[in-house]
C-alpha cells in the first residue's frame, strides 16, 4: 500500500476526531460518567456552573436519567 494513502487516512481520522471534540466538548465527560453512581455524576464538574451542568446532563438523558428526575 502506498504510504501516502495511509498518511491521508490517519490525518482524516485526526481531523474528524478534532471536529467531534470541538462540536461536542462534553462527550468525553459523558463517557466517563456512564459507569459512575448517581451521587458522583450528578454533582457539577470542575469548570461547569450548576445551570450549565444541568443543561449538559439534559443532552445525555440515557446517562444522567436519575439526575434529571
Segment 2-57, tens digit of pLDDT: 889 999 999 999 999 999 888 887 777 777 766 666 677 788 888 889 899 888 88
Looking at the predicted structure, is the pLDDT value of residue 61 above 80?
yes
Q: Which of 66, 68, 38 is nearest to 56 (CA)?
A: 68
Domain hosting 30: range is: 3-68
pTM of the model: 0.48
Separation CA 21–CA 49 (nearest Å): 20
Structural domains of the chain, count: 1
Radius of gyration of the CA atoms of the chain, in A = 17
What per-residue string of b and e applies to 26-38 under the rule 16 or more CB within 10 Å gives b? beebbeebeeeee
Amino acid at each position: 500500500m502506498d504510504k501516502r494513502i495511509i498518511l491521508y487516512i490517519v490525518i482524516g481520522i485526526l481531523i474528524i476526531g478534532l471536529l467531534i471534540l470541538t462540536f461536542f466538548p462534553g462527550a468525553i465527560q459523558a463517557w466517563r460518567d456512564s459507569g459512575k453512581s448517581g451521587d458522583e455524576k450528578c454533582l457539577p464538574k470542575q469548570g461547569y456552573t450548576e445551570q450549565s451542568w444541568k443543561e449538559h446532563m439534559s443532552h445525555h438523558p440515557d446517562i444522567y436519567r436519575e439526575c434529571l428526575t
